[in-house]
Amino acid sequence: MAPARDKSGFHLNEEAFNDTAADEFYIRQALNLAQQAFEADEVPVGAIIVHEGKMIAAAHNQREMLRDPTAHAEMIAITQAAEAIGDWRLDKCTLYVTLEPCPMCCGALLQSRMKRLVYGAHDPKAGAVQSLYTLGNDPRMNHQLLITSGVMSSECGSILTHFFQQKRAQGKK
């Protein structure tokens, strides 16, 4: 039997779809973190990492606060998760994030051997999972991710749209 494919043609594993309620629960938690980022005047992206059913990392973008171009929610959460389990290999973990990861973050997911990625909104300007690039499923890489996309995409996209509308109204970004 051929592997299942999502709408974009990516190979999917049935295991990636075993708990829609859990996916929505964790994306909602990531959205709460995105709201914290919004309130801190950071691009509102939130990320959660779950290991064997337990949330072990939670972060939002902190580039402005830390003055660090690598301080994306995913990068901070990956560092927290590695510390929490005492290993750089996150092969039993799932990252839940409100926005499709960029090339840097997708590269970090592959380097950490993250098992699964669940994200909300697609990123047509910098998405490295499905929108611009397909790093997460590139067979030339030594690791591929199980990917579930579009979970609560409307809510995840809405907070970003509102943030950038507000910035444009202020003459910024």
Residues tagged active-site = 74
Distance CA 108, CA 102 (A): 10
**Cα–Cα distances in Å, from 92 out to 53, 89, 115, 139, 153?**
10, 8, 6, 20, 25
Structural contact between residues 73 and 33, judged by C-beta atoms closer than 8 angstroms: yes
What is the layout of strands, in order, in the sheet containing 116-121?
Answer: 54-60, 46-51, 93-99, 116-121, 146-149
